[in-house]
Amino acid sequence: MYAILDIETTGGKYNEEGITEIAIYRFDGHKIVDQFCSLINPERRIQPFVVNLTGITTEMLRNAPKFYEVAKRIIEITDGCVLVAHNAQFDNRILTTEFDRLGYPFEMNTLCTVELSKKLMPDLPSYSLGKLVRSLGIPLSDRHRAQGDAKATVSLFKMLLAKDTAKEIITKHVRKDPKRQLEPKLLDIIETAPSATGVYYMHKADGTIIYIGKSKNIKKRLTQHFTNDNRKSKKIQLEVAAVSYEETGNDLIAQLKESEEIKRNKPVFNRALRRTLFNYQLASFVDKDGYINLKIEKADARKKSITTFTNYQQAKSVLFKITEENQLCQKLTGLYQTEHGCFSYSIKECYGACIKEEPVEEYNGRVQVFLEKNSYENSHMLIIDKGRDVDERSVILIENGIYKGFGFYNLNYQINNPEILKSIISPMENNRDSQHIIQSYLRKNKVLKIVNLPQEATM
């Protein structure tokens, strides 16, 4: 990922300049994925020659944000990026100086499009941004304004990437340690990988799968694999010969596919992920007074569960939320050990089931509403979410609490009939891990739509 930027300054003495305007485009090697442009109040005088050059006056900047007010946004948009600029040394020095004034260490790897242009396109008459982009047919509007210059630099850098047959740019991108060189095969793998959500498969020379992973950004994740120095990563770097991948459009399908593919292929470097993903589950029972209780217990496939959790702390946190949202009793959900009224009763947020004050039927009614809504065993639904591109949606089918599989459909066909949607499902293995993945994901994330199916509509 690259942060392509341009900065306009007040001019003046070395290391005493202030920023008057900044434009940053976050670029994934193919397209702009985020941008930030703003005038900046430099809190100092602008040199007259700069006013003539840029057209930016002190009056224009009077109500503009000061640098400290936009510093957080600059850090966010440049996070994990290589900084790219035309004369990168200058722009990086200006940014570093401003952050130094705030006491923040701003350190980034840089690429200079002046140097790259001289190397990849030698013998051009001029390498100033204006003359260079004109000679290459790149449009440039608002010359000497940050947004116009930065946008032209994006187009120039995209052209340089295409001309970089020696992969020197990608080398700079993936190099964490300037003294360390990655093998050409790893550079090739990274360069061809997409910056998309999906599952990736690492292969040995004979095609054997040695590792399966999933990521919201496959290119970024592979870069981490190939630059890490831990023992496992070094072994992978030695053995990997190629990486294939499958885009999924969203993280839920990526998690489901990763889990199933690891179980099916048993890659040598996925030993840890072969184990179950959950350790605790939420169960229910009826006490001697007839109240339905909820409790957290160790995961056990032989017992019926409402939902599952990765660890006890997660389970307890979710149960507190369930108790509050459904106005349940902390004593009857196992969160408050007492022989008397629970804490919520003492602050009048519990109706008294803990001391048998609330009628059993009323309390159990609220518990049953929760169970019917959340019990995976009774789920009949289609989970609709983003697809692999803007014209596509994904669909996951759950029947009788059983995960049946997933598929994709094109929005142009406007498929709304559940029976037709079910027909495009690719069958997948149902197990406790897949149930856990779906339940956990729906607790933490929003999907585009959930279509509840009547029982008679299921297969």
The per-residue pLDDT for range 271-298, each reduced to its tens digit, is 765 555 678 888 899 999 999 999 999 8
Query: Does some domain include residue 153?
Result: yes
At 451, phi and psi to the nearest 5?
-105, 110
User: Which pLDDT band holds residue 456 (cuts at 50, 70, 90)?
Assistant: low
Edge-to-edge strand ranges of the sheet holding 280-286 = 292-298, 280-286, 307-309
Confidence of residue 178 (pLDDT cuts 50, 70, 90): very low
Residue 331 has pLDDT above 80, yes or no: yes
pLDDT at 420 > cutoff 80: no
Instruction: Answer yes or no: do 104 and 61 share one domain.
Output: yes
Query: In whole angstroms, what is the distance from residue 27 CA to residue 153 CA?
Result: 11
The residues that bridge with 25 in the sheet, in sequence order, are 4, 35
The CA-atom distances, in angstroms, between 234 and each of 190, 200, 224, 229, 268 are 16, 18, 11, 6, 14
| 215 is a domain residue | yes
pLDDT, tens digit, 9 for 90 and up, residues 350-363: 999 999 999 999 99
How many angstroms separate the CA atoms of 295 and 282, rounded? 6
pLDDT over threshold 60, residue 417:
yes
- Pick 102 or 153 by higher pLDDT: 153
According to DSSP, residue 47 is labeled P
Query: Three-state SS for 396?
Result: strand
* Domain range for 219: 173-273
For residue 282, the tally of other CB atoms under 10 A from its CB is 22
- Angle formed by the axes of helices 146-163 and 113-120, nearest 10°: 40
Average pLDDT of the chain to the nearest whole number: 84
Q: Are 24 and 150 in a shared domain?
A: yes
Q: Quote the number of domains for the chain.
A: 4
pLDDT for res 375: 67
Q: Does residue 284 share a domain with residue 263?
A: no
Q: Residue 48: what pLDDT? A: 87
Q: Judge whether residue 451 has pLDDT over 60.
A: yes
Cα–Cα distance measured from residue 142 to residue 226, given in angstroms and rounded to the nearest whole number: 41
For residues 162 and 182, which has the higher predicted lDDT (pLDDT)?
162
Token couple for 219: 């290119």
Note the pLDDT of residue 376: 61
pLDDT digits (tens, 9 = 90+) for 46-56: 888 888 888 88
Taking only the tens place, the pLDDT of each residue in 197-212 is 999 999 988 888 999 9
Residue 23: give its domain's CATH number.
Answer: 3.30.420.10
Q: 425: pLDDT confidence band, cut at 50, 70 and 90?
A: confident
12-16, 342-346, 406-410: range with lowest mean pLDDT: 12-16
What value does the mean pLDDT take over residues 295-306?
Answer: 81
The CB density around residue 355, as the number of other CB atoms within 10 Å, is 15
Alpha helix ranges (H) inside 211-288: 218-227, 231-239, 251-265
- Check residue 176 and give its pLDDT: 38
| Percent of the chain at pLDDT exceeding 70 | 90
Contact criterion met (CB below 8 Å) for 377 and 401: yes
In the predicted structure, residue 310 carries a pLDDT above the cut 90: no
Boundary of a domain, candidates 339, 359, 374: 374
Q: Domain boundary at 163, 190, 207, which?
A: 163
Query: Which among 374, 394, 414 is the end of a domain?
Result: 374
Amino acid 412: pLDDT: 67
What is the sign of the dihedral through the CA atoms of 414, 420, 424 and 427?
positive
Q: Clarify whether residues 28 and 158 are in a common domain.
A: yes
pLDDT band at 172 (very low <50, low <70, confident <90, very high): low
Q: Is residue 402 domain-resident?
A: yes
Residue 114 covered by a domain: yes
Mean predicted confidence (pLDDT) in 117-127? 84
Residue 306 lies in a domain: yes
Distance of CA 280 to the CA centre of its chain: 26
In a domain, 71, yes or no: yes
Q: For residue 419, report the phi and psi dihedrals to the nearest 5 degrees.
A: -65, -40
Q: Are 319 and 326 in contact (CB under 8 A)?
A: no
Query: Same domain, yes or no, for 234 and 200?
Result: yes
pLDDT of residue 293: 94
Instruction: List the structure tokens of 41.
Output: 């109040």
Locate 411 and state its tokens.
Answer: 């929005």
Residue 78 lies in a domain: yes
State the DSSP code for 81.
-
The whole-angstrom separation of Cα 235 and Cα 214 is: 19
Determine the Cα–Cα distance for residues 396 and 237; give it in Å rounded to an integer: 35
Please tell me whether residues 134 and 253 are part of one structural domain: no
Instruction: Pick 431 or 246 by higher pLDDT.
Output: 246
The Cα 52–Cα 165 span in angstroms is 41
Listed in sequence order, the DSSP H helices in 290-338 are 312-325
Nearest 5°: phi and psi at 212?
A: -125, 135
The better pLDDT of the pair 435, 330 is held by: 330
**In this structure, are 178 and 109 located in the same domain?**
no
Residues 46-97: pLDDT tens digits?
888 888 888 888 888 888 999 888 999 999 999 888 899 998 888 888 898 8
Whether residues 143 and 35 fall in one domain: yes
Specify the pLDDT at position 285: 92
Side chain identity at residue 222, one-letter code = L
CATH of the domain at 191: 3.40.1440.10
254 & 308 share domain? no
Residues 285 and 268 in one domain: no
Q: Are residues 269 and 285 in the same domain?
A: no
The phi, psi pair for 246, rounded to 5°, reads: -135, 120
Q: What is the pLDDT of residue 415?
A: 61
Nearest-10 crossing angle of helices 67-78, 88-101: 120
Same domain, 237 and 260: yes
Is 168 contained in some domain? no
| pTM summary value | 0.51
